[in-house]
């Protein structure tokens, strides 16, 4: 099946493979909408869950921000708590580092994926 511009714009890995590519040439489309405003930095004291963007924003140290997916890697529940040290999932008790998203306590075995972001004029945006 030939590739077309629409398939490439959608990151159609299956199309690339069926066209004879040795390996996927495009990654899957990002889960978050690029350029969308997440939150003002001054509203993130220690951490904040931004449900409408599906992310959790942390400030593990004053002036240092991190953004992670708000979906627990265990069974897909949404995280429900965050502070300077930990992000917590209510479903089965998994805990993740607010600094790097690493698993601190299971049953989750995969870290929370980081989400690319930029800060402009005190506002955090999806990158």
CATH number for the domain spanning 55: value is: 2.102.10.10
Residue numbers of the domain that contains 22: 1-30
Q: Do 11 and 70 belong to one domain?
A: no
Q: Do 88 and 112 belong to one domain?
A: yes
Compute the average pLDDT of residues 40-53.
93
Residue 28 to residue 106: CA distance in whole angstroms: 27
Q: SS3 of 68, please?
A: strand
Compute the average pLDDT of residues 61-69.
93
Q: How many domains is the chain partitioned into structurally?
A: 2
Residue 101 to residue 98: CA distance in whole angstroms: 6
**Overall pTM > 0.75:** no
Residue 16 to residue 6: CA distance in whole angstroms: 12
Residue 61 CB coordination number (10 Å): 11
Q: Do 58 and 115 belong to one domain?
A: yes
List, for residues 89-123, the tens digit of each pLDDT value: 999 989 999 999 999 988 999 999 999 999 999 99
């Amino acid at each position: 099946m030939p590739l077309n511009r629409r398939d490439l714009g959608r990151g159609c890995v299956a199309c690339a493979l069926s066209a004879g590519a040795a390996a996927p040439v495009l990654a899957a489309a990002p889960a978050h909408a690029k350029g969308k405003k997440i939150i003002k930095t001054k509203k993130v004291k220690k951490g904040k869950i931004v449900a409408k963007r599906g992310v959790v924003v942390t400030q593990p140290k004053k002036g240092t921000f991190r953004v992670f997916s708000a979906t627990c890697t265990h069974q897909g529940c949404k995280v429900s708590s965050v502070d300077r040290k930990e992000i917590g999932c209510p479903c089965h008790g998994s805990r993740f580092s607010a600094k790097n998203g690493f698993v601190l306590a299971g049953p989750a075995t995969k870290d929370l994926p980081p989400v690319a972001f930029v800060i402009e004029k005190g506002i955090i945006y999806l990158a």
